[in-house]
Structure 1
Amino acid sequence: MTTTDTSSRKETTLPPHADREELASAKLWAVYISEAEKYDKALVESWKADMEGLLIFAGLFSASLTAFLLESYRSLIPDQGAITIAILAQISRQLDPDSDTKSGAIIGSSFTPSTASLTCNTLWFLSLGLSLSCALIATLVEQWARNFIQRTEMRPSPVIRARIFSYLYFGIQRFEMHTVVEFIPFLLHLSLLFFFGGLVAFLLPP
């Protein structure tokens, strides 16, 4: 009997349960990957859709709020036209020989904005800051979701894919992505609350 015959006989006499264990392991990983892929993709796709809607709303809201701010910001600075008219009127009185106000001082810049104007602009600037923060965080979450989906669509061996899904899932838990995603609408609602508070102050009579 030759050495080749002996080695071939050893190969053919491998325990049959090894193939069964390998096949069962492959099936187990396939089931895990299938379920993890369904759960993770459904979760991330829903987050991505929510972020897209929040981005659209935050963009439109910020643009509208900026228009209000451009109008309300004028109440924080003195009216240059009114100051010019007052100065010209005072100069005219000083040049009038019959006037008794020759020694009067030219009007200074003693302008003080009203409390309603300060309140309105403060609330609206806070609202704009929160709205832009929502847009920034939503953009980062959307980019993360896109990267997450790309990672899960990789096609290495089943064991490596299972490790990738497990790593990404524990990453979601570690960085508390659920809390971050739920916190974005809260910031947007707070921004709207500040806007309506500033709108009430803006509509108050001077």
Structure 2
Amino acid sequence: LWSVYVSEAEKYDKALVESWKNDMEGILIFAGLFSTSLTAFIIESYPRLVPDSGDATVQLLSQISQQLAAAANGSTFQLPAPLPPFRPPATSLICNTFWFTSLGLSLSCALIATLVEQWAREFLHKADMRSAPGVRARIFSFLYYGLKEFNMHKVVDIIPLLLHVSLFLFFAGLVAFLIPINIPMAAVASFMLACLSVVYSAVTVLPLHYLECPYRTPLSEAFWGISRGLARILRRRRIADDSVWSDGEVTLVEAMSHGATEDTQERDYRALVWTVKSLADETEFEPFAEAIPDVLWGPKSSRFAYRTHLKNLVNHPELEMYHRFLDVFRSCDTGLLLPEASKRRRITYYKALWAL
């Protein structure tokens, strides 16, 4: 009993941890490259936050020149008014605020990603400490529910979100950096930022309306929870269904899984058509034909769940099911198969034809 649990838990946990490690490796590479590029921009922008020593030098030299000229002419030298206190431009403050914040978030992502990789290795190591199935099962259960209790999944999801915020801050800082330099270039950067914001917002919101949508961002799950909460408060239901939607804790992934099992007739038929088309030869087609009798007939009576689908498959003009059956029977007479294999194939396809 425990061996079965250990086998299933080991496959699930190892797949989960490996996916985390692969994600963290990609994030580390991107964060490193992004931080390096961002540092080059910061080197160009941060001198605008301090007074230029060249201005003070020019004023001092001008003062000395005027003083020498006054002494040569015998006139009285009047000290010029001191320079006003230095105030960095607003665009420089905004630009450097965004860029330094972006750099901090990027480096934080790299640190957290490194920690997640370490935690993943420790998780696998602790799970393999004992060999007895009963002990290993308890360790797997103990560690996995520890991951859930301390929201390890959410920590992993936050890392790319921080990196996304860092990227948006970089573009916003780039706009502020270019405004005093060149307005057309600042307009181009603003347009890029606006397009990126629109696309990111659309990708975030689309899964909330279309559960089958493959696009999503780390914010999609958060907006899903908010929309579910508002729907409960306002007594609205986007999907008229049973008790599964009355639970406020339904996640976006669970909602997708539930939606995939509803109104499946058309999707099931498309899947079966694709399956038959993808079976290139008789050897690949044989397992499909072998399953037909069990799909259509039970021990005592016929089954109606897939009867319409298989009838439509037979009548599908592109599939030519009966022609494929004839080709299979001809292949049994070529002498390429062993007698036992040829007999087994004939029996399989005769049963399929009888069921149809």
Q: In 2 relative to 1, CA 148–101 (structure 1 residues): closer, same or farther, beyond 3 Å?
A: farther
Q: Which of 22, 26, 30 in structure 1 is aligned with 2:3?
A: 30
State the 1:127 CA deviation. Answer: 0.5
Q: Which amino acid aligns with 2:24?
A: M
State the 1:101 CA deviation. Answer: 7.7
Report the equivalent of 2:67.
Answer: 94
Q: Which of 163, 170, 195 in structure 1 is aligned with 2:138?
A: 163
State the 1:71 CA deviation. Answer: 1.0
Q: Which amino acid aligns with 2:138?
A: R
Q: In 2 relative to 1, CA 101–90 (structure 1 residues): closer, same or farther, beyond 3 Å?
A: farther
RMSD (Å) for aligned C-alpha atoms: 1.8
Report the equivalent of 1:141.
Answer: 116
- Contact 1:152 1:164 survives alignment (8 Å): yes
Number of aligned positions between the proteins: 179
- Contact 1:41 1:149 survives alignment (8 Å): yes
Report the equivalent of 1:121.
Answer: 96
2:33 corresponds to 1:54: no
Q: In 2 relative to 1, CA 100–131 (structure 1 residues): closer, same or farther, beyond 3 Å?
A: farther
* Identity in percent: 64
Q: Quick one: distance in 2 between partners of 1:205 and 1:127?
A: 21
Q: Which runs of 5+ in 2 are unaligned?
A: 182-356
Q: Which of 146, 150, 161 in structure 2 is aligned with 1:186?
A: 161
Q: Which runs of 5+ in 1 are unaligned?
A: 1-27
Q: Which structure is higher in helix share? A: 1
Q: Which of 172, 182, 186 in structure 2 is aligned with 1:197?
A: 172
Q: Quick one: distance in 2 between partners of 1:200 and 1:69?
A: 14
2:40 corresponds to 1:67: yes
How high is the TM-score relative to the length of structure 2?
0.48
Q: Quick one: distance in 1 between partners of 2:151 and 2:41?
A: 36
- Contact 1:87 1:106 survives alignment (8 Å): no
**Runs of 4+ deviating beyond 3 Å:** 98-101, 105-109
Report the equivalent of 2:105.
Answer: 130
How high is the TM-score relative to the length of structure 1?
0.81
Report the equivalent of 1:25.
Answer: none
> What secondary structure, in the 3-state scheme, does the structure 2 residue paired with 1:96 have?
helix
Report the equivalent of 1:6.
Answer: none
Q: Quick one: distance in 2 between partners of 1:167 and 1:83?
A: 67
Q: In 2 relative to 1, CA 101–185 (structure 1 residues): closer, same or farther, beyond 3 Å?
A: farther
2:118 corresponds to 1:150: no
